[in-house]
Amino acid sequence: MSLPKGIVICEACGSRTRPAARRLPCHETVQCKARVVFASYDARGWVAASNSTAGKILEESGAPVEWAPAGVHVEQRPNGKQGRHGEPLYDDVWVSHPIAFTPKGAFRAASLLARMNLTPEFRRRAIGALWQRPDLLDALDAMKRLRGGLTKSHVWQSTVQAEEEAACAKDRS
């Protein structure tokens, strides 16, 4: 496959760039570094938690969570110059912020239970028990689709089952 004239593929992140139109090379930008972080976690089978609250809930439930500088946003910073009427002028600057990454199973468990009216303690306990059990997550997901929603008793039964099986496995070893 040949690329159009003037376009190259960044060696770090794999995106197509037009170096002549950039102030910085792609591999020095915040966006490129974020794409590299996302790709490394994706290769491990991890996903980004949707927001920092989800990351904190997952941490408290015992699921592995790693925070990495993969988010990017624009901030306006004063550039020291003044505009026509004496007001300060600003430059748009891309800045990175940390994002929580977690295994797909943990995020799936948190997503299933997100909109349920559960106490925070029970939600943390359920996520902690269910995130390593894809079979129970599949069953809960199927129940949610068939019945139009999950009940607390469904989640409670699955949580207790996962905790009992984990205790038995611990006793055996």
Mean pLDDT of 22-26: 82
Whether 22 maps to a domain, the answer reads no
Whether 71 maps to a domain, the answer reads yes
Whether 40 maps to a domain, the answer reads no
pLDDT tens-digit readout, 87-122: 888 888 888 888 999 999 888 888 888 778 888 888
Which of 152, 37, 50 is CA-nearest to residue 106? 50
CB 92 within 8 A of CB 116: no
Domains in the chain, number: 1
Whether 37 maps to a domain, the answer reads no
Q: Output the pLDDT for position 47.
A: 92
Q: pTM of the full predicted structure? A: 0.74
- Domain membership of residue 135 as a residue range: 45-172
Whether 144 maps to a domain, the answer reads yes
Give the mean pLDDT of the chain: 85
Whether 26 maps to a domain, the answer reads no
User: How does DSSP classify residue 4?
Assistant: P
Ranges 8-17, 26-35, 49-58, 119-128: which has the least confidence:
49-58
pLDDT band at 8 (very low <50, low <70, confident <90, very high): confident
User: Strands (DSSP E) along the chain, which ranges?
Assistant: 8-9, 16-17, 46-48, 66-82, 88-103
The token pair that represents 136 in the structure block = 């129970």
Mean pLDDT of 130-154: 81
Q: Output the pLDDT for position 1.
A: 62
Interhelix angle 104-113/52-60, nearest 10 degrees: 100
Whether 9 maps to a domain, the answer reads no
CB 49 within 8 A of CB 99: yes
Whether 165 maps to a domain, the answer reads yes
pLDDT tens-digit readout, 151-168: 788 888 888 888 888 888
The token pair that represents 38 in the structure block = 């996302």
Q: Output the pLDDT for position 66.
A: 92
Which of 37, 13, 10 is CA-nearest to residue 25? 10
